[in-house]
Amino acid sequence: KNQVEQSPQSLIILEGKNCTLQCNYTVSPFSNLRWYKQDTGRGPVSLTIMTFSENTKSNGRYTATLDADTKQSSLHITASQLSDSASYICVVTTSSSGTYKYIFGTGTRLKVLA
């Protein structure tokens, strides 16, 4: 069964600190993996996309990694800011027979405190 699991479920950190969010998936065949940020009361917004051949990709203070062998991805946030408080959702795209589907994780809720 195609699944995406994220950890931790929730996280509280102080402003300025770093944190790492984890995503493990059992999705086959794998097409790509995206991290989305969802602010409270808003729709998710894409942060990064990782394809099979990519190990690391940065977007400002956000750095995503992908280990296709172990089927794990991480999202590292550097020097956190209050505006980083949100849910972060890992989404894996799978394709077969010419169609594709998005498999969503349940998200990690991050709270950054002043």
- Which spans of this chain sit near another protein (rule: CB under 8 A)? 4, 31-32, 34, 36, 41-46, 49, 51, 89, 91, 93, 95, 99-102, 104-107, 109
Q: Can you give the chain as a three-state secondary structure string?
A: CCEEEEECCEEEEECCCCEEEEEEEECCCEEEEEEEEECCCCCCEEEEEEECCCCEEEECCEEEEEECCCCEEEEEECCCCHHHCEEEEEEEEEEECCEEEEEECCCEEEEEEC
C-beta closer to another protein: residue 103 or 112: 103
Q: What's the closest the beta carbon of residue 52 comes to another protein, in angstroms? A: 11
Least distance between another protein and beta carbon 16 (Å): 27
Q: Which is nearer to another protein, 9 or 70 (CB)?
A: 9
